[in-house]
Structure 1
Amino acid sequence: MSRRRQVYEGKAKVLYEGPEPGTLIQYFKDDATAFNNKKHAVITGKGVLNNRISEYLMMRLAEIGVPTHFVRRLNMREQLIKEVDIIPVEVVVRNVAAGSLSQRFGLEEGTALPRSIVEYYYKNDQLGDPLISEEHITAFGWASYQELDEILNMTLRVNDFLSGLFLGVGLKLVDLKLEFGRLWEDEDMRIVLADEISPDNCRLWDVRTNERLDKDRFRRDLGNVQEGYAEIARRLGILPEAGPRDLKGPETLQ
């Protein structure tokens, strides 16, 4: 990795220059952070699991026509992606009351919402990713009205599809965070789903017991973080029998 040019490093991933123009290599770290990076730990195997889970979900979404930046998985920790201009807006879909929504409105966690609620947050760690409105997004030029409509429609479609997919393996999609980017190809631009979809940015509870299998295990010191992520991978049918280990060479390829 030292011979590759690093383009960006975030809290959970590193981006390197890709093998071809317009591509990047996305490396998944084992780092876990919460509360705007005030809490930090290293969870062995988390990056491997997130890489596999995100790969699977991105591929399933592509099958129903959702455009994404994902190209293919390279190995247990890396995937090839298309380079996009990230829109600095985090889109959160909430299906069940949990987290900050419960705190802001005094709702008991687990309360079913009358319908899915979409919220927008300005992607800025220094400001704590503040809650924003559509007016903020268009007024400050982060996205146009047309782009925002496209993002909203894609968000609802992703949420609907993943809710059904997870329900089929006994998981409740409580909420999820999505990011989008502008992909330029031959002078044409389109909005695509970017970043990742994993237990780092989805709340996933067991349908029967409401056991939390996502990043809340880390946020709330519930323990067994890696085991929760591994259980999600097992239910999706993508976890190697040997568990989330780093394999070498062709053994990692599908």
Structure 2
Amino acid sequence: MARRKQIYEGKAKILFEGPEPGTIIQYFKDDATAFNNQKKAVLEGKGVLNNRISEFIMTGLERIGVPTHFIKRLNMREQLVRHVEIVPLEVVVRNYAAGSISKRLGIEEGTALPRSVIEFYFKSDELGDPLVSEEHITAFNWANPQEIDDMMAQALRVNDFLSGLFAGAGIKLVDFKIEFGRQYEGDMMRLIVADEISPDSCRLWDMETGHIMDKDRFRKDLGEVTDAYREVARRLGILRENESSGQSGPVLVSDNEK
């Protein structure tokens, strides 16, 4: 294989130059991190599962008219995606109280919120990704008012899609984080969903038992992290029904088997 130019390495992914102008190759690592990179581990097979789950979700979003950076999956760990200028914000949509909102507002985890709540966090590992307001966003020119409106509208559409998708699999979508990128085409610019959508970026609980099926299993030292991710993939139809969740590596359904 020809040596590729690495553009960026993050906590869970590596980005390489794509084969065509305006494209990037996104590689999913097995690395897991939490608490602003203070807790680290390598979880065999996690990158493979996140690659396929994110592919499945991004493809579904494209079908309902939500633009994303996803072009196609290249192999078990890599995707070809559109090159975008990442907006330096994490957009979090919360349906139930969990994590930081429970601590900040004293709401018991699992409490249904009166409506879906959207929060913005400034992307900065050094600062711990602080919660910011729309005033901060416009004052520091991270995004303009129209872009904020567009991100909020798209985030709610993503929430509707994901809530229905996971509910059909017996999974409660507690909250999730997405990122947006600016895609330039000549004089035109549009915001599209970027990064990934996977159990790394969503809180997912079994509807009947409340069993945690996301990255909180790593954060809270609950163990069986990849087994939980594998179960999410199985319920979404990405894994064969007859595959044991206790396998050492995930066995994924090929495209012609889906």
TM-score range relative to shorter protein:
over 0.9
What residue identity is the alignment partner of 1:54?
Answer: S
The 8 Å contact of residues 30 and 45 in structure 2, kept in 1 or not, is answered as yes
Deviations, residues 120-174 of structure 1 (Å, cap 9, x unaligned): 0000000110000001111100111111110100001100111011001100000
Report the Cα distance in structure 1 between the residues aligned to 2:237 and 2:220, rounded to whole angstroms.
27
1:26 alignment partner in structure 2: 26
Residue 158 of structure 1 aligns to a residue whose secondary structure is helix
SS in 1 for 2:41: strand
CA distance in 2, matches of 1:20, 1:184: 15
Equivalent residue for 1:232?
232
Q: What is the identity, as a one-letter code, of the residue corresponding to 2:120?
A: Y
User: Do residues 67 (structure 1) and 67 (structure 2) align?
Assistant: yes
Aligned-partner residue type, residue 214 of structure 2 = D
Aligned-pair distance for 1:86? 0.0
Tell me the residue number matched to 2:168: 168
Q: How far 1:186 sits from its partner (Å)? A: 2.7
What residue in structure 1 maps to residue 99 of structure 2?
99
Task: Check whether the contact 1:87–1:142 (CA below 8 A) recurs between aligned residues.
Answer: yes
| Preserved CA contact (<8 Å) 2:121 2:129 | yes
1:153-210 CA deviation, whole Å, 9 max, x = no partner?
A: 0001100111011001100000000100000123311000000000000000000001
Amino acid at match of 1:166: F
Give the number of aligned pairs.
251
| Distance in 1 between residues matched to 2:251 and 2:185, nearest whole Å | 34
Equivalent-residue separation in structure 2 for 1:198 and 1:170 (angstroms): 16
Alpha-carbon contact 2:239-2:251 (below 8 Å) kept: no
Letter in 2 for 1:81: V
Percent of aligned pairs with the same amino acid:
67
> Is 1:182 matched up with 2:182?
yes
Structural mapping, 1:145-164, within 5 Å: 145-164=145-164
Partner of 2:136: 136
Asked if structure 1 preserves the Cα contact closer than 8 Å seen for 2:230 and 2:250, the reply is no
Distance 1:2 1:45 in 2: 25
Distance in structure 2 (CA, Å) of the matches to 1:2 and 1:15: 16
Which residue number corresponds to residue 113 of structure 1?
A: 113
Question: Which AA in structure 2 matches 1:104?
Answer: R
Give the Cα–Cα distance (whole angstroms) in 1 for the partners of residues 229 and 95 of structure 2: 20
Structure 2 CA distance, aligned partners of 1:246 and 1:72?
Answer: 19
Q: Which has the higher contact order (CA 8 A, sep 6+)?
A: 1
Give the CA deviation at 1:98: 0.4
1-side partners of 2:250 and 2:175: how far apart?
28
